[in-house]
């Protein structure tokens, strides 16, 4: 259907001057008729409705609004366009003028000064400037000038909340983060959270993703090799670009998260779609599965708002209590993102490394995480003084001579050289491919006195440095305990050799 019809959805005759001649196509691939008063887009939550505007504005104002929003949908972010429509509708209804043709200066002043509406200034300014640029003005010349001359103090966005460890908007404290981790894992093990929801929650927590990035991921964004699993994340907030046009660099994930991703893909995606699953959404719409084959677009993907609600609905029912305040924790994907970034800072990441992991174009906003980390450690030091020292002795197994080891389950390095044995006969570490490195921090590991531990230590240190150089501080930190444990073992063997 093209846009040459001179009737709107209410079958009211309209002037041909206010008719769009062609359909519109958003950057997300949705095609719609801009002449309709309801724009239905699969990738935007709900419907964009113009009927409320018709009740208080002229045909010219409604048409200019459609021209402005059409331009945003076709060149920018669809979610931003939807937000702009919500803001404008709220604005014109508040004016209470039945024949709005242009929003005037005095009406703009009254609106912005009322009910903390200044927080909407950014969106109001976007509407004013974009409509002015395409010669479809929504504001008078005086109102347009006023909007652009208002300068607000730098709000620092979430920076203040992050630095202060705000219990609602800031990062979770380490003890709180552990409490959340325990509660979520227990709920999954007890069957209270299904695998799909558990994976979504773990990816929010383990990768610090924005809802839009997670919602737009496909199976092809995951590579699983013998060296480990890596993922790429679609960037969010890319102005003027559609979804899945720009990605963060490929980065590794921890083996724990990798096991969950494998289980989910094998049990829920492959069983539904078979082998050809490259374009299948990691999290798709349940109702979309049988309608068509998936392509490179985001058709059939879960909506960002929906995956945010998925997180909140599953976590809120657990009623997780903060071990610090005794109050129920306020949890959402945004706090998880802040917590992820703060953990990066605690692991020694720079502001630039944090920015890369978060997909930020600039590192200035990431300095707050480093400030919060400094405050955290200084606070610990003030409270525990000389007792604030790291635990060094992390090798928990036994040292035995290979010739005297009667355990049948032997462990080998990549060169098939024996390093020890497992007294329990093997575990998930062996099955998932993280042995023998992970074995060095296990009580059931029998390390051989004459094993090639120094070579394994050098390899592990090299792997950690490579991860750090690539900006993957969180994954790199998982190697630290292993490095310390192998070092402790080597020292214990040296002392035994030197003993009379």
CATH superfamily for 159-387 is Intergrase catalytic core (1.10.443.10)
pTM (2 d.p.): 0.61
DSSP assignment letter at 361: S
Reply yes or no: is the peptide bond before residue 352 cis, omega within 30 of 0. no
* Close Cβ partners of 67 (under 8 Å, ≥ 6 residues apart): 131, 134, 136
As to burial, measured by CB atoms within 10 angstroms (0-12 exposed, 13-18 middle, 19+ buried), residue 325 is exposed
Please state, in angstroms and rounded to a whole number, the distance separating the CA atoms of residues 25 and 34. Answer: 10
Q: Who's near 199: CB < 8 A, 6+ residues apart?
A: 260, 261, 264
pLDDT at 380: 57
- Please identify which residue in the block is written with the tokens 């703009």: 108
| Residue 48 β-bridge partners | 39
Q: Residue 280, Cβ neighbours under 10 Å: how many?
A: 21
40 alpha-carbon distance from chain centroid: 26
- Residue 53: predicted pLDDT: 92
Return d(Cα 85, Cα 104) in angstroms, integer.
18
Within 8 A by CB and 6+ apart from 305, the residues are 45, 211
Smallest Cα–Cα separation from 480: which of 447, 448, 457, 446?
457
What's residue 255's pLDDT? 86
CA–CA gap between residue 300 and residue 215 (Å, rounded): 10
With 0-12 / 13-18 / 19 or more C-beta atoms within 10 angstroms meaning exposed / middle / buried, residue 447 is buried
Cα–Cα distance for residue pair 33/25, rounded to 1 Å:
9
Instruction: State how far the alpha carbon of 492 is from the alpha carbons of 410, 450, 488, in Å.
Output: 21, 12, 6
Domain boundaries, the chain: 16-149, 159-387, 398-498
Residue 385 confidence (pLDDT): 52
Structure tokens at 183: 């509660």
Tokens matching residue 43: 């990738």
CB count within 10 Å of CB 361 equals 9
In the prediction, which pLDDT does 379 show?
Answer: 66
pLDDT number for residue 46:
64
User: What pLDDT tens digit does each residue of the chain (500 aa) get?
Assistant: 344 433 444 444 455 678 999 999 887 778 899 999 999 877 655 689 999 999 899 999 999 999 999 999 888 777 788 889 999 999 999 988 778 999 999 999 999 988 888 888 989 999 999 999 999 999 999 999 999 998 775 555 678 889 889 999 999 998 899 999 999 999 999 999 999 999 999 999 999 999 999 999 999 999 998 888 999 999 886 665 678 888 998 989 888 899 999 999 999 999 888 878 999 999 998 765 544 578 888 888 999 999 999 999 999 999 999 998 899 999 999 999 999 999 888 877 888 888 888 988 778 888 899 888 877 666 655 655 544 444 434 566 778 776 666 665 666 666 657 788 887 665 655 555 667 887 887 777 888 888 888 888 888 898 888 888 887 777 777 788 788 888 888 888 887 777 66
Q: State the Cα–Cα distance between residues 356 and 351, nearest whole angstrom.
A: 9
Cα separation, 500 vs 481, whole angstroms: 31
CA distance 375 to 377: 6
């Amino acid at each position: 259907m093209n846009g040459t019809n001179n009737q709107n959805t209410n079958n009211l005759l309209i002037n041909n001057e206010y008719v769009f001649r062609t359909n519109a196509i958003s950057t997300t691939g949705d095609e719609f008729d801009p002449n309709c008063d309801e724009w239905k887009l699969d990738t935007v939550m709900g419907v964009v409705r113009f009927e409320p505007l018709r009740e208080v504005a002229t045909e010219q104002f409604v048409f200019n609004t459609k021209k402005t929003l059409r331009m945003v949908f076709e060149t920018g972010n669809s979610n931003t366009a939807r937000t702009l429509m919500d803001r404008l509708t709220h604005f014109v209804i508040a004016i209470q003028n039945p024949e709005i043709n242009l929003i005037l200066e005095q009406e703009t002043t009254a609106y912005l000064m009322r009910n903390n509406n200044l927080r909407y200034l950014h969106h109001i300014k976007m509407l004013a400037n974009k409509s002015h640029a395409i010669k479809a003005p929504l504001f008078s010349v005086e109102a347009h000038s006023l909007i652009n001359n208002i300068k607000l103090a730098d709000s620092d966005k979430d920076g203040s909340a992050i630095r202060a460890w705000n219990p609602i908007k800031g990062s979770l404290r380490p003890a709180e983060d552990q409490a959340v981790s325990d509660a979520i894992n227990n709920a999954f093990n007890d069957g209270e959270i299904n695998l799909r929801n558990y994976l979504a929650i773990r990816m929010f927590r383990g990768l610090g993703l924005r809802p839009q990035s997670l919602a737009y991921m496909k199976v092809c964004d995951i590579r699983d090799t013998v060296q480990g699993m890596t993922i790429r994340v679609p960037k969010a907030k890319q102005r003027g670009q559609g979804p899945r046009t720009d990605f963060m660099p490929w980065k590794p994930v921890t083996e724990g998260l990798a096991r969950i991703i494998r289980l989910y893909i094998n049990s829920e995606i492959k069983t539904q779609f078979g082998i050809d699953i490259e374009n299948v959404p990691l999290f798709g719409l349940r109702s979309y599965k049988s309608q068509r084959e998936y392509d490179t677009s985001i058709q059939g993907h879960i909506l960002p708002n929906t995956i945010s609600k998925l997180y909140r609905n599953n976590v809120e029912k657990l009623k997780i209590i903060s071990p610090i305040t005794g109050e129920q924790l306020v949890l959402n994907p945004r706090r998880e993102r802040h917590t992820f970034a703060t953990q990066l800072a605690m692991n020694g990441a720079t502001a630039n490394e944090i920015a890369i992991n978060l997909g930020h174009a600039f590192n200035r906003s990431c300095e707050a995480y480093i400030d919060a980390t400094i405050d955290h450690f200084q606070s610990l030091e003030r409270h525990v003084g000389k007792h604030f020292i790291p635990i060094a002795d992390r090798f928990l197994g036994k040292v035995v001579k290979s010739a005297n080891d009667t355990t049948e389950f032997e462990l080998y390095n990549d060169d098939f050289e024996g390093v020890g044995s497992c007294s329990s006969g093997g575990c998930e570490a062996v099955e998932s491919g993280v042995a023998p490195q992970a074995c060095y921090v296990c009580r059931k590991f029998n390390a051989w006195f004459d094993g090639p531990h120094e070579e394994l230590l050098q390899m592990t240190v090299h792997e950690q440095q490579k991860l750090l150089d690539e900006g993957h501080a969180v994954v790199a930190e998982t190697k630290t305990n292993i490095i310390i444990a192998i070092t402790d073992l080597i020292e214990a063997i040296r002392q035994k050799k030197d003993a009379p």
